[in-house]
Structure 1
Amino acid sequence: MRLLSRSTPLLKSAVLTTLFSFAALSASAQVTRTRVSSDPFTVAPGQHATEVEPHTLAFGSTLVSAFQTGRIVNGGGTDIGWATSLDGGSTWTHGFLPGVTKGEGTGPYDAASDPAVAYDAAHGVWMIASLPISNTSSTPAVIVSRSVDGGLTWQSPVNVTGNVSSSDKNWIACDSTSTSPFYGHCYVEWDNPATGDGILMSTSTDGGLTWGPAKSTANKATGIGGQPLVQPNGTVVVPIETTGISAYSSADGGNTWTKPVTVSNIQSHGEAGGLRSGPLPSAAVDGAGTVYVIWEDCRFRSGCKTNDLVYSTSSNGTTWSAVTRVPIDAISTTVDHFIPGIGIDPNTSGSNAHIAIHYYYYPVSNCTKTTCQLYVGYISSSNGGTSWNAPVTLAGPMQLGWLPNSQNGLMVGDYIGTAFTNGVPHSVFAVAAAKNGTKFNEAMFTAQGLTTAEAGAQLSSAGDRPLHHLSDVVEHDRPEKGIHPPSKRSARRASK
């Protein structure tokens, strides 16, 4: 069924705006939550009225978010949806990528997954990288959809590689610093489950029209969930999950890639209730080039019973700071935090860096599918993480039975993103409501009225120390596309 093509009129965001005030652990705030997209696809095997796994990026006053629409249990969505704001999040236009899936009506693939957004200022092009999935044949490892009109219409995708049997967890970033020697270079990362998650990179220098050969790291390392970040000097740093959290880099515009260095081990508690999650990293870079990488981790919690959000920083991608806890709540609480998305105001840096984090959480970690209560939270710092404002709840409670299923559990997404326009933080995130019979009610929302300005009593984790050191173990998650040897799967969690 054809629902939206390049010639179809754009859909304006539905008028579903709610003014709400939620107590958020130790704070409350009044913000406006607006739905920016919902799933119109009714074609099988998609779970109708579901949208999951958004990534959001900003440049100037423009915000572009991409996400799976119509989640399919075995992997991917019926299509990739998008939502664009040209005025810093005040109003939104949304639609669905053409030329990708059969479910949308104009593409060759059975599903698409893992959307990520980039902007190439040198060529004036927005890009959405995604993972094409076919039930009967091999596909390109990654495809890239391009927009040359500010994210309002999208072209049919270009292939980053030739056809392969498997690929997973792609990401994309572009060098948009005009003084960089590699201004206009764009970088796509993915892994190959067939080789135990072998890390691969490809580079484009023409606005995403063509892509160079797939390149491994210097030691042919394996990993999953890499997020390329470009420093102002043109160096690309890629935090990634390996047997812990690691990072590799390129200082020559993507011609060569170093072997990964260790950022930290992972000590992670598995979320209750069958929710799909894990310690995949989220990363951002400040205006001076300092890289922040954040993930869920239980090292500060007695018995590893709940996860905090923790982070490490680096100015060069090779030397990393000690792991620091984001003090959302006291380490004695039952709150479990996971699926973080970090963003940093690009006009700030160092001790003045404005940091914003969106995340999901359970107030009580020890719960079941029928008793778990899922929320979306937000926390910010105006001084590079020295202290933090009290957290704010943006959505919830949600019951897990309202969420679509996937091959790795009930799903809101493996990641979310946070981005800034003119100093204001934004995200797009999945919010579910009660089903109408068997029909889901999960869509994409954004919250307006957020800030990073220091307000009220500040929170600090300066005195917190890890309580234990657990050994990483291997978790055998199924990839979105293809099959891989389970014995070679990257470490995901240390305990459950």
Structure 2
Amino acid sequence: MFLAAGPAAANVAVTQVSSDPFTDAQAQHRTEVEPDTFSFGTTIVSAFQVGRVSGGGASNVGFATSTNGGATWTQGFLPGTTGNSGGPCGSLSDASVAFDAKHNVWLISTLGVTCPNTPVFTSRSTDGGLTWSNPVTTATGSNDKNWIVCDNTTTSQFFGNCYTEYDVTSNGNALRMTTSSNGGATWGPARATGDNASGLGGQPVVRPNGTVLVPYLSGNGQIRSFRSIDGGNSWRSTVLVSAVSHHDAAGGLREESLPSAEIDAAGTAYVVWADCRFRSGCPSNDIVLSKSTSETTWAAPVRVPIDATTSTVDHFVPGIGIDPSTSGATARIGLTYYFYPTANCTAATCQLTVGFVSSTNGGTSWSAATQVAGPMSLSWIPNTSQGRMFGDYISTSVRSGGNAFPVIPIGTAPTGSTFNLGMNAPTGGLPVTGGAIRASADVLGTASNQKASLVTAF
């Protein structure tokens, strides 16, 4: 019932939705990494780095948009950002996508890396994600790991508010939030949490009642969360979701246990991350899931049963998506993740692979795993100062009543010094079938070889 440990070829048809056209000398070209994806109605928008720069960011951020439920795609690159598109920055990073239903505007949040300071930008589209405006400045300073979300519940008193989370690297990764109430055209002041928390990789989600929850990875190896109940005017102190036990991926791969978060139609929050607590001695990670219905307390993490705890597989960097029309015991979940078939590998032998599982009962049980892409050698993906990079995050969008759509980087062997790594989507999406493999909460081991502190990760 489990995915085989050997590096079998992927068995999913994919459609390439973008490729790197740039030639600037700073970057490793024909590379695309670190996608985020969001869907609303029949529109799916993905954004990602194009032309990865070893020291941080990329030549630009690209987008791929489908207006017909993933049948066809239009690609392009954000204007007014880097020198490749008439903008002020040398490189751009950390793309995140949202849709504001009240103002009918798509938004892509990005981070200007080699700019004056390290600003957070927001690019806007009013034609369904097909063309984009020059960006507006969302936040200034030395920043990292921005993420954007909008309140799309018409009955919420904060319907139409959008929220961007980021951390301030010059202030110990202090967490900050900023709010827009006019479709991302302007943004309010930066606000700290009640306990002035710090961390990395926060992913805000909005409950139907308008409460914003923000799970993130703290500097002391915990997944924590904070909230706002007043439309972003203030942010409460953080609460514990769970401690993290984490196995660092082999082969010099750039990888960290950042959370991926989503919300269902009833307001239950879901957060997943890579964790080794279910494997004695922490030889590799599983993907684990915690849920909250109360905003302030979180259930103990359960193991997503992709394979046996005795397998050689190492799972990491998950991206969760939930059908926005479902909830609770009938919530339809899609979960995309990366893995090594053999955890104990080297830079020369590691096989980077992409998998997918689904649940139709809120994560109580899961489907057998599907191999979506790979295996890929690490030499097929660009290098950075922190190791080979496919992306610090991935995401999955599940259409209402339909299939799941992750957009993922898939590569083949380089041609000389030129890579062949571009963005792809499963053709027609991935079915959310669910299955009978039940999640587990039995903790076998809590050792960890996680890095001692967070590293700025442009």
TM-score by length of 1: 0.88
Cα RMSD after superposing both structures: 1.7
Contact 2:282 / 2:447 at 8 angstroms: preserved in 1? no
Report 1:396-411 matches (<5 A). Answer: 396-411=374-389
Letter in 2 for 1:159: T
Rounded to whole Å, the distance in 2 between the matches of 1:260 and 1:355 is: 26
1:88 is aligned to 69
Relative to structure 1, the CA distance from residue 407 to residue 478 in structure 2 (aligned partners, 3 Å threshold; closer, same or farther) is: farther
Match of 2:323 in 1: 345
Structure 2 contact 3–370 (Cα < 8 Å) conserved: yes
Q: Residues 91-170 of structure 1 correspond to what in structure 2 (within 5 A)?
A: 91-102=72-83, 104-134=84-114, 137-140=116-119, 142-161=120-139, 163-164=140-141, 166-170=142-146
Counterpart CA distance in 2 for 1:446 and 1:399 is: 20
- Summarize the alignment of residues 35-50 of structure 1 with structure 2, pairs less than 5 Å apart: 35-50=16-31
Q: Is 1:193 aligned to 2:169, yes or no?
A: yes
Q: Following superposition of structure 1 onto structure 2, how do residues 90-489 of structure 1 map, counting pairs within 5 Å?
A: 90-102=71-83, 104-134=84-114, 137-140=116-119, 142-161=120-139, 163-164=140-141, 166-242=142-218, 243=220, 244-422=222-400, 423-448=402-427, 449-454=429-434, 458-462=436-440, 464-468=442-446, 474-475=452-453, 477-480=455-458
Tell me if structure 1 keeps the 8 A contact 2:144–2:456: no
Instruction: Report the residue type matching 1:121 in the other structure.
Output: A
**Offset, 1:32:** 2.2
3-state DSSP class of the match of 1:188? strand
Change in CA separation of 1:313 and 1:113 when aligned onto 2, cut-off 3 Å: same
Distance in 1 of aligned mates of 2:78 and 2:158: 29
Alpha-carbon distance between aligned partners in 2 of 1:451 and 1:199, rounded to the nearest angstrom: 36
Q: Using the alignment, how far apart are the partners of 1:206 and 1:478 within structure 2?
A: 31
Shift, 1:28, TM fit? 10
- Residue 424 of structure 1 deviates from its aligned partner by 1.5
What is the alpha-carbon distance in structure 2 between the residues aligned to residue 134 and residue 352 of structure 1? 45
Once residues 287 and 228 of structure 2 are traced to their aligned partners in structure 1, the CA distance between those partners, rounded to angstroms, is: 27
Q: Tell me, which stretches of 5 or more residues in structure 1 are unaligned?
A: 1-22, 481-496
Aligned equivalents of 1:186, 1:221: Cα separation in 2: 21
Query: Per the alignment, do residues 397 and 28 of structure 1 end up closer, same or farther by CA in structure 2, a change over 3 Å counting?
Result: closer
Q: Give the 3 Å change call, closer, same or farther, for CA 105–28 of structure 1 in structure 2.
A: closer
Report if aligned partners of 1:405, 1:411 keep a CA contact under 8 Å in 2: yes
Measure the CA separation in 1 of the matches of 2:296 and 2:60. Answer: 38
String of CA shifts for 1:141-194, please: whole Å, max 9, x gaps. x10000000000000000012x42x10000000001111000000000000111
**CA distance 1:293–1:262, shift in 2 (3 Å):** same
Count residues in correspondence.
451
Q: Secondary structure at the match of 1:284?
A: strand
CA distance in structure 2 between the partners assigned to 1:346 and 1:372 by the alignment: 36
Is the CA contact (8 Å cut-off) linking 1:408 and 1:478 kept in structure 2?
Answer: no
Q: Does structure 2 conserve the Cα–Cα contact (< 8 Å) formed by 1:407 and 1:478?
A: no
CA distance in 2 between partners of 1:76 and 1:446 (Å): 22
Task: Check the 8 A contact 1:67/1:115 in 2, yes or no.
Answer: yes
Q: What CA distance in whole angstroms lies between the structure 2 residues aligned with 1:409 and 1:217?
A: 32
Instruction: List per-residue Cα deviations over 1:259-305 (Å, max 9, x = no partner).
Output: 11000001000100011111000001111110000000000112100
Deviation sequence 1:371-402 (CA, Å, 0-9, x none): 01111100001111111110000111100011
Instruction: Work out the percentage of aligned pairs sharing the same amino acid.
Output: 51
Deviations 1:94-113 (A, max 9, x none): 000000000x2311100110
Q: How far is 1:473 from its partner? A: 5.9
- C-alpha distance in structure 1 between counterparts of 2:21 and 2:302, whole Å: 42
Separation in 1, partners of 2:9, 2:42 = 27
How many Å apart are 1:465 and its aligned residue? 2.7
> How far does residue 450 in structure 1 lie from its aligned partner after superposition?
1.4
Which range is displaced more, 459-468 or 25-34? 25-34
Give the Cα–Cα distance (whole angstroms) in 1 for the partners of residues 369 and 326 of structure 2: 21
